[in-house]
Each structure stands twice: as C-alpha cells, then as structure tokens.
Amino acid sequence: MKIDVLDKGYIEVVDKLGDDLTPVNAARVSFGGRSDTFEEKDRKLSKFLIKHKHFSPFRHQHVMFIIKAPEFVMRQWYKHVVGIETTSAHVTKDHAWNEISGRYVPYDEFYEPTEFRKQSEDNKQASDGLVEDQIKATMMWREAQTKTIETYKELLDMGMAKEQARSILPLTVYTKVWWTASFQSIMNFIELRDEKTSQVEIQEYAKVLKIIMLRTFPETTKLWSEIYFEDVSPNTK
C-alpha cells in the first residue's frame, strides 16, 4: 500500500505484525485465553482496553513504513515517542528509524508549496489565512530556493564533500525514512498531528496514516478513533 502526500512525498507500507486480534489475545494471556476469529466479545474487550488506557497490548501490533517527506516535516515527526522505547541500548526497543544519508547520496528533490500562508496573530506556531500578495511571495520564495539548490549542485561539481555541501540546503529538501512503530505510537501521532493547530503539511501525512491504519487494522483503528478522535473517517480534503 502506497499513498502520495504533498507534491512529491508518500507513505508506503512495507510490512506489518499482528492483526485486530493481537491486542485482545495479548490481554487475555493473563488468564490463558485466546481467540482465533474477531467476534463481538473481542470488540468489547478491545474497546474496554482502549477506553481505560490499557495500552501495552497495542504495542504488539506494528507497521513498517517508508516515508518520503520534507525535512521540516520529519523534524516534527521525530518528536513523537509515546508507545515507543527510545533508549537505544534497550534490547526490547519496539521502534526504529533509518534515514537516507546526504553523506552518501546527493539530494535532488524539494518541496514547493502551492500557496503561502500568513502567520497567525494569536498562535505563535501556527498559520492562519493566506499572504495577500501570493504572486510576489511565490517569486521571492522560488528565487531563494532555486539559488540555494544551484549553489549546492555547484559545490558538488567542484568536488566538495556531500557531508559539507548539504549544510546549505533548505528544510524543504525531501528525505526518505524507514519507520517501524507500534499501533499505539502511530495512533498517538495521528491524534496530535491530524489537528487544526498542527502545521498543514504534517496534517496531510497524519490524514494518510489514518487511511492506512483503517485498512491495516480496521476494527482496532475504528474503536480507537471513536474514543479519542472527533471523526472516525480520515479528514481528507
């Protein structure tokens, strides 16, 4: 499963571990029970676990993704650690990141917005509405980014090490990441980023993740959404 995001990005599912029965069977191990098919009793137990924040069973469901996104999106993404063991020396770590390296390969793709937003007057980290002169904003933005990209290529052509030349690149540079995370971690990300005060671009990735999770773990995702999200369906444009 692969779904495009923004102008050149995407989220692709590489693999998954578990199904909708996984968390309820993990919970039932306490008294030696196990189900082979997902039935109403399993739906009730799953809902009980979610509602009362018994989240550890939902760390047995995992999804492995390839994410292609602008660097400024990934910088926000890396902050999400709920449902994740982040101590690198921990042998039971249930989360992994691996990212393409600009030391080995040159960067050649960059994000370009379709419109330019105004800074919100009552929220220091958010946007609200559009810049009045879209034509001028677009011209200035493109000129600045184009010059930087051209300089980067010229530095590479003159033999400068990629690890140094990359330091001038804008945060719009596309990076590619392999991300493996638990169901709980993924749903926490969606809850926080598919939200109107989040940056628009990362909201788009959260919306696509919700679509993917509804297809991958339909029963569990629907139950989780009913309890913690305002809207069960993906808030796509």
Residue 74 has a CB neighbour count (10 Å cut-off) of 21
Q: Write down the residue that tokens 């609200």 correspond to.
A: 128
Cα–Cα distances in angstroms (integers) from residue 121 to residues 97, 126, 136, 183, in the given order: 36, 9, 22, 36
At 8, is the secondary structure helix, strand, or coil? coil
Full DSSP string of 184-201: HHHHHHHHHHSSTTS-HH
Q: What is the DSSP letter of 79?
A: T
**Residue 193 annotated to the active site:** yes
Rounded to a whole number of angstroms, the distance between the first and last alpha carbons of the chain is 20
Which residue, 232, 197, 227, 237, is CA-closest to 76?
197
Nearest-angstrom CA–CA distance, 28 and 192: 30
Nearest-angstrom CA–CA distance, 201 and 165: 26
Which residue, 95, 19, 92, is CA-closest to 57?
19
Task: Spot the catalytic one: 103, 166, 193, 215.
Answer: 193
* 174 strand-pairing partners: 70
Nearest-angstrom CA–CA distance, 215 and 184: 16
**Which residues are marked as active site?**
193
